[in-house]
Chains A and B, each alone.
Chain A
Amino acid sequence: MTATERTVALAARWVACYTRRLPTRVAQARRDELASDLWEHSHDTSERTVSQLWVALSIARRVVCGVPADLSWRFAQLVSAQGGVAEHRVLRQEAVMTMSEATRVWVRQHLRTRKCKGCSERYARKYTYCPVCKAAKGTDGTRPAGFGGWA
């Protein structure tokens, strides 16, 4: 996967993220429009002559600089979709939903992984030892006396 392809994939994920829970027609139109733009940009011959990395950076810059406008567009769409609902209520709903989603992701991440006492890396709970420093579960990686070696 090239740098451009990775950046395009990340940009598409961001579009999917800020168009979630919007009316289907509006969300789909924005996703289609951005998919077209990203395709045109990544296949633009005038920029391709520079380098793939340059194109990737250019796409990334357009995504990052557009984040405030994307969020305010989303807010305006939510307000218009819930016609008659006061803006502060929509903003409160958004804040609650974002907080709950962030909490859900954080909890899931921490239930599925543990932090190694030896190297501080997080690794999946299904492993009985740290794949990075090979310390056994719950130990700090120091070898007990008489221990012959790591399996």
Chain B
Amino acid sequence: MRRKQGVLLPVEADILAAGLQLRRSGQARFHGFQLAKEIADHTGAGKLTAHGTLYKALGRLQDAGLLASRWEDPHAAAAQGRPRRRLYEITGAGERALSAWRLQQAPQQASARPGWEPT
């Protein structure tokens, strides 16, 4: 069964919310593991999102234009002795999609998903 165009899944909304939270804390660009940690911290789940779930959702969000990404300079990463990161940032469309999702989910979110504060 295919999902309706323009509808966010809970994991996608969590990613966008975590991205906005990171941006508010001064990190406009973030990598996958940072997102997984931010989601785990704020949803209260305590467990990091699975690799497959996270990167598949990131790909979908990017295809939909809600996220943009670029690869880090490999020399900068090599200088720090680690693999290069793929850095994501939330687009304007991503912010609007999250706001719309929150409006739709507001009644359920108040009871079931207390972790994220709407802005």
Chain A interface residues toward B at CB < 8 A: 11, 29-30, 32-37, 39-41, 43-44, 46, 58, 61-73
Q: State whether the Cβ of B93 lies closer than 8 Å to any Cβ in chain A.
A: no
Q: Are A36 and B31 in contact (CB under 8 A)?
A: yes
A78 vs B51: C-alpha distance when bound (angstroms): 19
Chain B interface residues toward A at CB < 8 A: 31-34, 36-37, 47-56, 59, 71, 82-86
When distances are taken between beta carbons in the complex, the residues of chain A under 8 Å from B36 are 37, 62
Q: Are A62 and B31 in contact (CB under 8 A)?
A: no
Once A43-B82, A61-B47, A73-B59 are accepted as A-B contacts, the answer to whether A36 and B52 lie under 8 Å apart by CB is: no
Once A33-B32, A37-B32, A40-B31 are accepted as A-B contacts, the answer to whether A65 and B53 lie under 8 Å apart by CB is: yes
Q: Are B54 and A36 in contact (CB under 8 A)?
A: no
Q: Are B56 and A58 in contact (CB under 8 A)?
A: no
Interface centre among A33, A39, A70 (most CB of B within 10 A): A33
Q: Are B49 and A62 in contact (CB under 8 A)?
A: yes
Q: Are B48 and A58 in contact (CB under 8 A)?
A: yes
